[in-house]
Amino acid sequence: MEIKVTFPGGDKVNAEINGRIIPTDQPDENGGGSTAPSPFDYFLSSLGTCAGIYVLSFCQHRQIATEGLALTQRMEFSTTDDGKKKLVKVAIEISLPPGFPDKYRNAIVKTAELCSVKKVIMDPPEFEITAI
């Protein structure tokens, strides 16, 4: 798999994946134009959306109505001794739709925990950066 990263101007950085462009920008307060989410916002969003597709699929496969189904993701940060923010906790709350069968409550939580983005964070890959 390959992702091509380009720089269209200002603080914008785009990622091209399979012919689709994912635009990023920095917030106004960081000198950007706030025209798109920042790369870190996409990273955080990938956790909730990954868990979300597992949860959605769980309901669809069991023909459980998804109207009212939602996930809320909350992040907790701390400040390190050198003053930098550090992500210390990601909590995802699944709001179940009306009439959701109680017998599936634990199973849907376990399904959300199957998220591949979470699994990569829990067992991180090796990183290699080179310049040519």
Q: What is the pLDDT of residues 44-62, one digit of tens each?
A: 999 999 999 999 999 999 9
Is the CA virtual torsion 93, 96, 102, 108 positive or negative?
Answer: negative
Residue 96 is predicted with a pLDDT of 97
* Residue 106: CATH number of its domain: 3.30.300.20
Residue 1 inside a domain? The answer is: no
Residue 81 in domain: yes
Has residue 76 been placed in a domain? yes
pLDDT at position 50: 98
Tell me what pLDDT residue 92 has.
98
Query: Is residue 7 assigned to a domain?
Result: no
Give mean pLDDT, residues 97-101: 95
Q: What is the average per-residue pLDDT within 113-118?
A: 97
What mean pLDDT is reported for the chain? 96
Q: Among residues of the chain, what percentage have pLDDT more than 90?
A: 98
The arithmetic mean of pLDDT across residues 89-108, rounded, is 97
Domain count within the chain: 1
| Unique residue bearing structure tokens 């993701």 | 73
Q: Count of residues for the chain?
A: 132
**Phi, psi angles (nearest 5°) of residue 50:** -65, -50
Q: Which domain holds residue 42?
A: 37-122
**pTM for the whole thing?**
0.89
Average pLDDT, integer, range 69-80: 97
Do residues 24 and 38 make contact, with C-beta atoms less than 8 angstroms apart?
A: yes
Phi, psi of 22 (to 5 degrees): -110, 105
Residues 6+ apart with CB under 8 A from 48: 71, 73, 92
Q: Is 61 helix (H, G, I), strand (E, B) or coil?
A: helix
Look at residue 3 and tell me if it is in a domain.
no
